[in-house]
Structure 1
């Protein structure tokens, strides 16, 4: 039987101690009317505490663009299907998937972007101000706007200030506190700051202090599960691999033609040279109204990027330069359209470089797609390219999961645990530098579209991956742990 000061009773002790301290303070200050009101409020919260212990209301904290946090959107949808009422807290910017928007059991709490101070203030001061502002935002949403949750899910990173705030809220409400470890936040901060800098060391301390205090832990790789057990004092983390939902699948030809026709209005690389409304650069509508792929079509390469420091986009640009030179030298390669999706801080930097290229056979476009069109583009492509390199070496790129769900073979840059997802020469190819990527693209697309033997082999091998989808994986891992 656990002792009175055990972790199991810590939330009750914390709440009770706060109530007693506040009531004594108000009494000796002579604020008797406020004391009576506060007693009523605490009695009200106590009823919520009892509900929370066996309730079915979840709070999901993203502290990022909700629309660009697919895994947390999937958590919300799965919880709603299980019968939970879900509050998802984060920022706006991108439109979430329509299933989340239209679900009556899911409420979005979209916070305004944090205030930014002018650059004349020191960086540490500006960062501290931003964190304090975010704490105020989270406290307002969690303690004022929301009903008390039975479960609090946190996406990590970012760890600051979400982990301390979520831990505190779980103690006040008696909620089950669950961390979904996507990566380690301090390793991302170390990309732009020295690993020994005070801000990175503080971030690491906060992450290591509050993360292990959660009641439940999920992570994205077995390598991270092992690291959490050995170095973080989290012995029972559960690996919940990213799996694609049903919307990620090969796109039928009619939908490909419709997608390319729509995109061609804003992105000319998808338009046919003859400007016919019946044709795109990839597909054409026959007189019989049937849709076919064009024999002279270019290859479609897709790469999703967040345009951040942990993705060296110059590798792809250099590989495309080599591809252009290879065609010019006479190799039997198709023209190539490279569609690069995503938003991020370094996009303008690379767009300026792309604008200076005067290629004849390689064309680049950067479409921003809706949550519904993104899977359709992946399901229409010939090759995917992933430049994600994990800052911790322990997470996997979700963009590859989406590509595999659509049956799209991938060329992915190597890092430590990538083999938990990409099997070299089985469902895709792994490269280490721009030279390897350039050679892989040329090998895969030689004599395209007539010859696609290696691509077809990869597509066949991906069929087993496509069988296990997010919902089944979530039910097998998360659902059975909700009330443990």
Structure 2
């Protein structure tokens, strides 16, 4: 018994010593790893990062024009620019020839369901991919982050701010928590409240802030004590009005207009107006308003017996892609349209989108802000082409659209229908031409473009980072 006990005791000692040895080896490994990470941090913190900028979008880069314009402006100022985001759509051609541009594609996180737990799982994946992206990029002296999305980008940028020592600028397009409220279907939700507190907390770590409207500037200051600079969206030079043969040639080159292109000829007996709307097909744009107005226009004009008034056919081109596109495509298929309305829903390449807008007669904007504080970029693009707009009325839209001067505001399908009827009959009836008057007003104010706005508002702030 004594011998057996000693053997058992000896075996246990060996097992214990082996376990301790493995633990010490693991501690040595962890210590080594920590030291290596510390050396990387020190190197990154104090290595040269002059004239290097990082522009971050936790979204599709090709569908984030404002951040691409930031990138182009920085490149033109001689910066080396790291552009980080999802590379799902083509980038604007103006930035692609710069050798000082480095695109860092983020991996799209797996999203298996729409449950609340999946939001947490998705955020953890995004944290990992963003951290990996930071390690891949050159050390920046300035970081410009698009917000929203807020989770987890604001926190990750704040953490790496202490590692790299860069100037951190948040570019406020909206509030992330208000968009989450729409996605969740309710603001009476724990995730909504957590998101709001998180966004407010992370906002304190920025060095400077840009925002898209005076209304947002006021809200940031009054509610979160955040001072910001209003950097209005402005169209770049590639957005311009197309006339004559330029217009005709482009329209004839578009396959989705092949069967109606001759109707745009001023001498055509059918006469057609080109109406354009762009969208991300999300919950904050109710396209049923436009579809209802188009159906009523078609029926009204088809049954009109007034020989003194002539109404054109409307060719409505809706471009873009997003989560609700298939839902609305099914609704469009079921519409009962006669002869006066045609709807097309193409996806356009980056170089064709401004040309289509430049050819259009009227723009439609159905954007309603989740916060009531942001302004629609699509209207800015349309104004760059001197294109009058019919836009949904909400809190701060008057900062961009002057009713009766540069566009017309509406709140429902009936009001939009009235605008369409008024514009259509005056455009081709030669009485009180509304569109030409608004185009003329736009031409007078259209000299101020993105380059000038950025040089006046953004550059004085960014250059302090060096």
TM-score in terms of structure 1 length = 0.85
Which of 385, 391, 394 is the aligned partner of 1:412? 391
Q: Which consecutive unaligned segments of at least 5 residues does structure 1 have?
A: 1-25, 273-278, 284-291
CA deviation after TM superposition for structure 1 residue 28, in Å: 12
Distance 1:293 1:197, change over 3 A: farther
Deviating more after overlay: 293-302 vs 95-104: 293-302
2:190 is the counterpart of 1:202: no
Once superposed, what is the RMSD of the aligned Cα atoms? 2.1
Q: Which residue of 1 aligns with 2:207?
A: 215
Matched with 1:477 is 457
Q: What residue is the counterpart of 2:132 in the other structure?
A: 140
Q: How does 1:312-351 map to 2 (within 5 A)?
A: 312-330=286-304, 332-351=310-329
1:169: how far off?
1.0
Match of 1:240 in 2: 231
Match for residue 456 of structure 1? 436
Contact 1:335 1:362 in 2 (8 A): yes
CA displacement at 1:304 relative to structure 2: 1.1
Per-residue CA shift, 1:243-297, capped at 9, x if unaligned? 000011101322222222221x3x1x4435xxxxxx73324xxxxxxxx774643
Q: Secondary structure at the match of 1:88?
A: strand
SS of 2:428's equivalent in the other structure is coil
Q: In structure 2, how many angstroms separate the alpha carbons of the residues matched to 1:426 and 1:324? A: 27
Q: Distance in 1 between matches of 2:299 and 2:253?
A: 31
Task: Provide the residue aligned with 2:84 in structure 1.
Answer: 89
Which stretch of structure 1 is more off in the superposition, 402-411 or 443-452?
A: 443-452
Instruction: Confirm or deny: 8 A CA contact 1:270 1:281 kept in the other structure.
Output: no
Which residue does 1:302 correspond to in 2? 276
Q: 2:259 aligns with which of 262, 266, 271?
A: 271
Distance 2:211 2:437 in 1: 31
Change (3 A) 1:47 1:387: same
2:105 corresponds, among 110, 124, 129, to 110
> How far has the Cα of 1:192 moved from its partner?
2.7
Q: Could you tell me which residue of structure 1 aligns to residue 336 of structure 2?
A: 358
Q: Which residue of 146, 149, 152 maps to 2:143?
A: 152
Secondary structure in structure 2 of the residue aligned to 1:271: coil
- 1:5: which partner in 2? none
Secondary structure of the residue aligned to 2:182 is coil
- Counterpart of 2:68 in structure 1 is 73
Name the CA distance, whole Å, in 2 between partners of 1:295 and 1:179.
53
Alpha-carbon distance in structure 2 between the residues aligned to 1:171 and 1:35: 17
2:362 paired with 1:371: no
Matches within 5 A, 1:386-405: 386-405=365-384
Cα distance in 2 for partners of 1:439, 1:85 equals 51
Provide the aligned length of Structure 1 versus Structure 2.
433
Pairing 1:224–2:216 present: yes
The 8 Å contact of residues 295 and 449 in structure 1, kept in 2 or not, is answered as no
Question: Using the alignment, how far apart are the partners of 1:459 and 1:376 within structure 2?
Answer: 17
Given the superposition, is the C-alpha separation of residues 261 and 210 from structure 1 closer, same or farther in structure 2, using an over 3 Å criterion?
Answer: same
Larger Rg: 2
Structure 2 segments unaligned to the other structure (5+ residues): 1-23
